[in-house]
Structure 1
Amino acid sequence: MKASKSGRPRRSHTLGACRTCRRRHVKCDQKRPVCRTCRTLGVPCEGFTSEVRWIRDDGGSPEPEDHNGTRRHMYTEQSRLSMSTSLGSSLVSGSVSASLAEIDLRTRDSDRAPVGDIVVGPFAVLDFAPDAPPEMQKQPQGDGAEAEAEDPRSPPQNAPSHTVNPPETPLQPLPYINDSPSHIDDFLHWSDILGLSPEQPGFFQPSMADLDIYFGADPQSEAAINAFGVVDDVVGLQSNMAMMTPPRSAIEMASTFLDAAALADAPSLFKHFNETVVPQMMIMPLGEKTPWRILNLAAAMATYNDLTILGSQSISHARLANLYGLLACAASHLASNSRQTVASSSQHWEQAAHQMFEQAKDHMQKSLKYETREPKRAKYKDQLMAICCLIEYTVISGQHQHARSFMVNAELILRMRGLLKQRISQKARLLHHVYTWLRLVGESTYVLHDYNPSNSFIEALDVNFQRHRLDVAPRAEEPEPRLDDFLRLEAHDADSDLNINEPKDKQTGLHDIHLQDSRSFSDTLYKQIYGIPETWLSLVSQTTRLANAMETFRIAQRSGRNTSLAAWETLHRRSVRLENLICCCELSPTRTDPSKPHGHMLRALNAALVIFFYRRIRRVHPAIMAAHVDTAIASLAEFTSSLPPGQSTGPGAAWPAFIAGCEALTAPRRDSIARWLENAISTCGPAGFRAARDIMVELWQRQDEHLHTNRNDPMPTWIDFVREKQIWPLFC
């Protein structure tokens, strides 16, 4: 009787064994370069043979043991070299980046015919044909005809609707800057890729950053100055064997090389951010523990290690946005710091900062769209620290056109995710404090609102000042929290929010992100982070909010709208109480050592707060505030002279210098504030100091002309100037 099929003996050998195991007819585990079977038996392992052998063009025959599976090249080496050269020179400037930019511009060309092809690249493989009109679509497109343009990791379009939960609250779109081929760095050419040979060592392996740069090389050295590239998404590095495998297309290959080039300067930028940028971002020298080092820098370096050393492919867009945003801050600071950067390096860092910012902005957009909710939800702290880093980049670079969108999206993230948590961690609170500083100080100089009153504003104004009870803390079950535009003014019981002696409860203190309530909170962290009391920031917030409400009310009165007299009386009563608090805060002695920088800066901030109140609320003549201007100027000069020499500390805050300098009418006062700003510009990179100087110089000219020619109209102020120019000076 024949044995059944199941009773047959199983094979005892495997394919792909080493030469030694094949000769000895034993099972090989195929571990390379030396199998463990040979290592256990103590015999030398003779290695493995390749499955495919290429026959060289010199006519030599393969070894006898490798005669199976040999292949011959279809073309000679000279033919292949000629073909690669021809393909590389036939493209736009021979550049990968220029070809990609050309494709991008052609797809956005509104004058292009609705039906047609866009064919760019070697062998015309990049075919970008637009979708046909509905009447021409007789059959569905085949597989591979459509590409996901938003996110390569997003689910397919035919997936069930419950697999992806987009945010119900509409997100404000981040601004986008179109690039042209003239702005693309042509450092990577098609000929560089098409001319590579698989026989060259390190083929398809991205270059790693030199570890010497990581441990303290000069950012301006020639080894640290490399080109940056812009890619759509970051592809993690593979293992050594995987990197020896050619990518599936030239575009994927170019993306790999561009990623490696984009992060080549990362170690030196990390060092510059830690040693120079962070101290100058703090308005007072407070030591080493800052949120930027504890959170942003640590997270960015961890992301860089995962991306380059560990080769991880599961990095969220929020973490990548924080990485590229931090590198953009360091590169922008290097580009604007003329004392430490030569002209050629300055141009390199400026281009690098722009490209890094585009990377960070793109990843932040994808994170807001895909990672705010399940299933690909990113960590809350990653999203908030990334968008705060982007806000800081706009402050350093002076790109105010992006700051508004970032701040609104930061508040959206905070309200949708952070304030709804049952327990707010210490790291999350640090990020909340950073956001509050950026938002409140930035909002104080934002006067580009539409102050024309609407019907809803008049109704809300009357209702708010008539009711007597209002819940301050946000409701946890609120599905779509309302974003704050600093144009509405909430009412409280007998204006108790201005009672500075009454303490806040813990829930109110944690959820009052814009400090509408000026009562003291014992668990605040502003002194530890910025060296200022929370009361000062609260008074800035309430002054800004009250000034916006009063400006809207004045416009409503001039336009003949039906306004409430009780509402105006309440606004006036609030301004009187706020004036008393600000003046008492300015007159109260500081508890810090007067010989240290902290005391001088606090006096400058308090004096500038008084000037800010009388400019935005009372609208008085600048001559009335001369004494407060002198106090602010003298305190800033004493702060600079008391800074420890030889340390990389910032020149202080530009906000008090701007607020006080715009009210200076005499030449000595103007010269003093101008010298302080020039000294700050020469030692610091942020664009806020330059913006303050430029605005004040032109404003002083207008004020002088007004004093000599026209004394009937109101004196020109910085508020009128920035509204006319449609700019937003950022001093946070």
Structure 2
Amino acid sequence: MPRPRRSHTLGACRTCRRRHVKCDQKRPACRTCRTLGVPCEGFANEVRWMREGNEEDKVEEQNGTRRHLYTEQSRRSMSTSLGSNLVSGSISASLAEIDLKTRDPEHPPVGDIVIGPFGVLDLAPTESQKMQQTQQKASEPDRETPPSPPQTAQSTAVQETQVELPTLDSPSYIDDFLHWSDILGLSPEQPGFFQPTMLDMDMYLADPIPEPLPIVDMEPGNMAIMTPPRSAIEMASTFLDAAALADAPSLFKHFNEHVVPQMVIMPLGDKSPWRMMNLSAAMATYNDLTILGSQNISHARLANLYALLACAAVHLSSSQSSNISTEHWQQAAGQMFEQARDHMQKSLKLETCEPKRAKYKDQLMAICCLIQYTVISGQHQHARSFMVNAEYILRRRGLLKHRISQKSRLLHHVYTWLRLVGESTYVLHDYHPSASFIEALNANFQRPRLEGAAERLTESNPRLDDFLRLEAHDSDSDLNINEPKDKQIGLHDIHLQDSRSYPDTLYKQIYGIPETWLSLLSQTTRLANVMETFRLAQQSCGNISVEAWETLHRRSIRLENLICSCDLSLTRDPSKPHDHMLRALNAALVIFFYRRIRRVHPAIMAAHVDSVISSLEAFTSALHRTGLGAAWPAFIAGCEALTAHRREAILAWIDNAIASCGPAGFSAARDIMVELWRRQDEHLERNRGESMPTWTTFIQDRHIWPLFC
């Protein structure tokens, strides 16, 4: 008679059990895992009951090693033998007898206590140990011991029942099963201690996006306070987690009230992506860790949590209103940043592809928050790597989706703002002409029609953009700002290489600026990089086609007309503070164009510098506070100021921003401008016939990257 079939299988592999899918139990690797292309983690050695007779299948005995239990007869004999040795045939009576013998002070137990089947280890010292302790006490000098206070009956009872509790400094406060000898000698300076490296940006720039990173068999990044850590590094992360989470509520509040307003260039209310997405996700992760005790939290969510806390902590370190010392917040910010960077590295390696794939929005939120931390703290050495990794995530996962959700679009807009404004002041490229640039130069920077923007978006391996390529269209049609963009191009044009208008843009809702301004900034930055490479190619190669130069020159003239016409088209309404900031941005964009493209003398741009200064002062007066994230126009205009009253006005505005705990970009802008002004004054006194020192040459000499995004 055939046995009835079960509704579920009991011998599934570990991978199928974790993924909650049906396993066909084929060994050594099940067919389900092989079909999905995931590694099969094998089968557990499960318990199997003995059967009567010889009905077992020989094939089944070969499928793994099984541990058989005792037979029915053996178990009955064992039970009878155990019960015969019990006191009064009862387990309770036997345990009570053991308890009585161990608590009798007049008759201490000698050796092991054996009652029935129970054996209790005697921990009393042996005779040799007692003799050794006596000799040690005799060899020590006599010490005066203070008289002990009289003990009452209540204190005596407390001492009898008191148990030694672990203190906060005691390792047993965290877990009794931890082995602390591995962690006591470990320091952050030692090799391998929290030194994660992000994806190398030089590996991917101007190259096809690589294949998915290999999946390493690693447990998900859970909080070490929930389970005993298995290594010294996990043990160290326990302390960092506890320090970060202790200040989390106050840091959440500070981020919401003080940090978010400084991430935008003008106030727009409470509808900010940082509040709606990053802050909400970080608080949900915090609740899962502390209240719900969840163990299945992705590295991407943890990276966003610690990056957000790091942003709040580093801002508090420069705040004068905090009651806690600056050193505390600086140390906390550094520790939480290392935690966030470590989780982000693991997410890029383990959670970009299956089977431990994290949500796309979680990854992009975390990497954008890490970029924002470098902006607030001024750590430009990490920003470049984060930005390239953000584009890697966006191109690998976001742009390949058939439908881009509203939340994903918000994150794309945040990334575009950070990348474009940050790229405008990045002049540390290797401008020497590459083979691809020489090829584009010989083709006069023209591409066939079939390789337009829409077709390039559908490529299987789109390249990461390093802003050293010029995607030219026929007759520069991408600069027709009055024409609408196609929806597909508008959603995928993450660097705004196409300056045509897109009706569904969200930059005004997020940052209060039109998309046209950002696209013109992107076009100017890209054209300036290409023309800089062209100049070096002209010096090294010599035989440069005149047609290529005419193509670049014609594009620069068209771009100049667009930028200047946008500056003149603004309305002059003093009652609207946003109009003052837009005038400052547009005037600064004109200065930026003539500095990067035309390389004119600063004296020619004096009127535009005055326009930026007056607009920023009017904006501050209208809002009764300093411009929030407006360090970019102040820096661009201040570097071109030659007279004393213009420099003093710029410095006064920036000093007010620094006093209101602005980002580190304000302090960086002030330091660069003061040193640049000194060099310019020396140049005007000695070498009037040579080129005037500018902020681009100064940054290249110092090899720094000021971030104003």
The answer for the alignment partner of 1:235 in structure 2 is 223
The answer for the alignment partner of 2:696 in structure 1 is 719
Shift of 1:389: 0.3
Shift of 1:585: 0.5
Q: From the superposition, tell whether residues 106 and 679 of structure 1 become closer, same or farther in structure 2 (CA, over 3 Å).
A: closer
The answer for the alignment partner of 1:731 in structure 2 is 708
Q: Is the 8 A contact 2:619 2:627 kept in 1?
A: no
Q: From the superposition, tell whether residues 55 and 363 of structure 1 become closer, same or farther in structure 2 (CA, over 3 Å).
A: farther
Q: From the superposition, tell whether residues 50 and 584 of structure 1 become closer, same or farther in structure 2 (CA, over 3 Å).
A: farther
The answer for the alignment partner of 1:569 in structure 2 is 550
Task: Select the residue among 545, 560, 563 that pairs with 2:541.
Answer: 560
Task: Give per-residue Cα distances to partners, 1:186-243, cap 9 Å, x unaligned.
Answer: xxxxxxxxxxxxxxxxxxxxxxxxxxxxxxxxxxxxxxxxxxxxxx9542655xxxx8
Q: From the superposition, tell whether residues 60 and 349 of structure 1 become closer, same or farther in structure 2 (CA, over 3 Å).
A: farther
Q: From the superposition, tell whether residues 98 and 357 of structure 1 become closer, same or farther in structure 2 (CA, over 3 Å).
A: farther
Task: Select the residue among 625, 647, 665 that pairs with 1:688.
Answer: 665
Q: How high is the TM-score relative to the length of structure 1?
A: 0.70
Q: Is the 8 A contact 1:55 1:73 kept in 2?
A: no
Aligned-partner Cα distance in 2 for 1:303–1:487: 39
Kindly provide the amino acid, as one letter, of the partner of residue 698 in structure 2: F
The answer for the alignment partner of 1:463 in structure 2 is 443
Q: Is the 8 A contact 1:237 1:311 kept in 2?
A: no
Shift of 1:473: 2.6
The answer for the alignment partner of 1:700 in structure 2 is 677
Task: Select the residue among 591, 594, 597 that pairs with 1:614.
Answer: 594
Aligned-partner Cα distance in 2 for 1:281–1:473: 32
Shift of 1:7: 12
Q: From the superposition, tell whether residues 299 and 471 of structure 1 become closer, same or farther in structure 2 (CA, over 3 Å).
A: same
Aligned-partner Cα distance in 2 for 1:531–1:639: 14
The answer for the alignment partner of 1:522 in structure 2 is 503
The answer for the alignment partner of 2:687 in structure 1 is 710
Q: Does 1:387 align with 2:375?
A: no
Kindly provide the amino acid, as one letter, of the partner of residue 547 in structure 1: A
Task: Select the residue among 485, 488, 492 that pairs with 1:507.
Answer: 488
Task: Select the residue among 179, 182, 187 that pairs with 1:101.
Answer: 187
Q: Is the 8 A contact 1:532 1:602 kept in 2?
A: yes
Q: From the superposition, tell whether residues 564 and 251 of structure 1 become closer, same or farther in structure 2 (CA, over 3 Å).
A: closer
Kindly provide the amino acid, as one letter, of the partner of residue 667 in structure 2: R
Kindly provide the amino acid, as one letter, of the partner of residue 275 in structure 2: R
The answer for the alignment partner of 2:631 in structure 1 is 654
Q: From the superposition, tell whether residues 636 and 464 of structure 1 become closer, same or farther in structure 2 (CA, over 3 Å).
A: same
Shift of 1:590: 3.8
The answer for the alignment partner of 2:308 in structure 1 is 326
Aligned-partner Cα distance in 2 for 1:313–1:730: 37
Aligned-partner Cα distance in 2 for 1:541–1:59: 90
Task: Give per-residue Cα distances to partners, 1:95-131, cap 9 Å, x unaligned.
Answer: 98662228x73779xxxxxxxxxxxxxxxxxxxxxxx
The answer for the alignment partner of 2:12 in structure 1 is none
The answer for the alignment partner of 2:411 in structure 1 is 431
Task: Select the residue among 645, 649, 669 that pairs with 2:646.
Answer: 669
Aligned-partner Cα distance in 2 for 1:251–1:545: 43
Task: Select the residue among 258, 261, 264 that pairs with 1:279.
Answer: 261
Cα-Cα RMSD: 3.9
Gaps of 5+ in 1: 15-24, 26-45, 89-93, 109-148, 152-166, 172-231
Task: Give per-residue Cα distances to partners, 1:349-406, cap 9 Å, x unaligned.
Answer: 0111111111111111111111111111111000001000000000000000000000
Task: Give per-residue Cα distances to partners, 1:310-350, cap 9 Å, x unaligned.
Answer: 1111111111110110011011111122x2246x6111101
Where 1:99 maps in the other structure, the secondary structure is coil
Shift of 1:476: 6.3
The answer for the alignment partner of 1:291 in structure 2 is 273
Query: Where in structure 2 are the equivalents of 1:97-496 lying within 5 Å?
Result: 99-101=185-187, 105=190, 168-169=210-211, 234-235=222-223, 238=226, 256-337=238-319, 339-341=320-322, 345-463=325-443, 465-469=445-449, 470-473=451-454, 478-496=459-477
Query: Where in structure 2 are the equivalents of 1:31-46 lying within 5 Å?
Result: none
Q: From the superposition, tell whether residues 98 and 465 of structure 1 become closer, same or farther in structure 2 (CA, over 3 Å).
A: same
Q: Is the 8 A contact 2:224 2:235 kept in 1?
A: no
Shift of 1:653: 1.1
Aligned-partner Cα distance in 1 for 2:238–2:107: 36
Task: Give per-residue Cα distances to partners, 1:400-434, cap 9 Å, x unaligned.
Answer: 00000000010011001000000000000000000
Task: Give per-residue Cα distances to partners, 1:456-511, cap 9 Å, x unaligned.
Answer: 21112333634451320365653322000000101112110011111001101000
The answer for the alignment partner of 1:133 in structure 2 is none
More moved, 408-417 vs 447-456: 447-456
The answer for the alignment partner of 2:151 in structure 1 is none
Aligned-partner Cα distance in 1 for 2:397–2:330: 35
Q: Is the 8 A contact 2:445 2:470 kept in 1?
A: no
Aligned-partner Cα distance in 1 for 2:185–2:120: 37
Q: Does 1:600 align with 2:580?
A: yes
The answer for the alignment partner of 1:551 in structure 2 is 532
Task: Select the residue among 497, 501, 521 that pairs with 1:540.
Answer: 521
The answer for the alignment partner of 2:155 in structure 1 is none
The alignment-based identity, stated in percent, is 72
Where 1:100 maps in the other structure, the secondary structure is coil
Q: Is the 8 A contact 1:442 1:731 kept in 2?
A: yes
Q: From the superposition, tell whether residues 263 and 74 of structure 1 become closer, same or farther in structure 2 (CA, over 3 Å).
A: farther
Shift of 1:658: 0.1
Q: Is the 8 A contact 1:51 1:69 kept in 2?
A: no
Q: From the superposition, tell whether residues 375 and 86 of structure 1 become closer, same or farther in structure 2 (CA, over 3 Å).
A: closer
Aligned-partner Cα distance in 2 for 1:59–1:429: 80
Aligned-partner Cα distance in 2 for 1:169–1:355: 32
Q: Is the 8 A contact 1:451 1:555 kept in 2?
A: yes
Gaps of 5+ in 2: 1-51, 54-70, 80-89, 110-114, 134-162, 173-179, 198-208, 214-219
Q: Is the 8 A contact 1:650 1:684 kept in 2?
A: no
Shift of 1:251: 7.7
Aligned-partner Cα distance in 2 for 1:51–1:578: 96
Q: From the superposition, tell whether residues 236 and 587 of structure 1 become closer, same or farther in structure 2 (CA, over 3 Å).
A: same
Q: From the superposition, tell whether residues 249 and 419 of structure 1 become closer, same or farther in structure 2 (CA, over 3 Å).
A: closer
Query: Where in structure 2 are the equivalents of 1:638-653 lying within 5 Å?
Result: 638-643=618-623, 651-653=628-630
Task: Give per-residue Cα distances to partners, 1:416-457, cap 9 Å, x unaligned.
Answer: 100000000000000000000000000000000011112321
Structure index of larger Rg: 2
Q: Is the 8 A contact 2:467 2:526 kept in 1?
A: yes
Aligned-partner Cα distance in 1 for 2:106–2:251: 52
Aligned-partner Cα distance in 2 for 1:249–1:695: 45
Q: Is the 8 A contact 2:212 2:352 kept in 1?
A: no
More moved, 559-568 vs 420-429: 559-568
Q: How high is the TM-score relative to the length of structure 2?
A: 0.72
Q: Is the 8 A contact 1:590 1:602 kept in 2?
A: no
Aligned-partner Cα distance in 2 for 1:50–1:525: 75
Where 1:553 maps in the other structure, the secondary structure is helix
How many residues align? The count is 559
